[in-house]
Structure 1
């Protein structure tokens, strides 16, 4: 195996994705060639560093700024949110309530107009029929 073939196989070798025979050939070449062994060591260090960086969580302030930036970039405009609200499906009970509520209000309001006397005579306030009548005494 020459250096070019070894260099092309280093990533697969690092991830252990080579078949047994090519893996043995790369191992023998790395044992014999110092330049390829150094290249493999650098590749392995880079891969380990990338894996370690992927496992580290960013600080909370960075996560909050990133989340705010993503929300601002991908948030729908105000008119799209309003349109989505209008296009939202309405449950059947909401339609029923929209039809029954005005009718119920009309019935409550119309129930006070059934007595024809109440429409023509003024209402007396503070009258209690159960109270005894006042006795009129002459003023001295």
Structure 2
């Protein structure tokens, strides 16, 4: 096996995805060629470092700073948020409530206004006592 063929097979060799005879040939070449062995060691170190970095979570402070920076960068402006609120779909019960509530308020207002005008136009009787016997000589005012 030459160095170019070995270099092309190093990643597959690292992930153990080669056929058995091809794997033996790469292993023999790595034992004989110092340059390819160094390349393989660097590749393994890079792969191990990448795997280790993928398993480590950043500290909480770093995540919070990153989250705040992303929110500042991608948060919509106030007028876009207001427009989104206006364009939201309205549930059917909201339409019914928007129609029923003003009608109910109008009905209550009209019913109390009729009662108030009736009481205001009725004549008031002063000095009337229902328990006293009627006096004919005394006029009712």
| TM-score > 0.5, shorter chain as reference | yes
Structure 1 CA distance, aligned partners of 2:90 and 2:120?
Answer: 42
Moved more, 55-64 or 81-90: 81-90
Instruction: Answer yes or no: is 1:119 the counterpart of 2:120.
Output: yes
Give the CA RMSD over aligned residues: 2.0
Unaligned residue ranges in structure 2 (runs of 5+)? 123-141
Aligned to 1:20: 20
Deviations 1:88-129 (A, max 9, x none): 1111110000001011111111111223432347xxxxxxxx
Q: CA deviation at 1:76?
A: 2.1
- Post-superposition Cα deviations, 1:60-111, rounded to whole Å, max 9, x if no partner, equal 1000001111112222222222222111111111000000101111111111
Q: Does 1:6 align with 2:6?
A: yes
TM-score, length-normalised on structure 2?
Answer: 0.78
Q: Secondary structure in 1 aligned to 2:18?
A: coil
Q: Which runs of structure 2 are paired with 1:76-91 in the superposition (5 Å)?
A: 76-91=76-91
Structure 1 unaligned spans of 5+:
122-140
Is 1:92 the equivalent of 2:92? yes
User: Does the CA-based 8 Å contact 1:10-1:40 persist in structure 2?
Assistant: yes
* Structure 1 contact 14–44 (Cα < 8 Å) conserved: yes
Partner of 1:34: 34
Corresponding residue pairs, total: 123
**CA distance in 2: counterparts of 1:21 and 1:79, whole angstroms:** 67
Which SS does the other structure have where 2:114 is aligned? coil
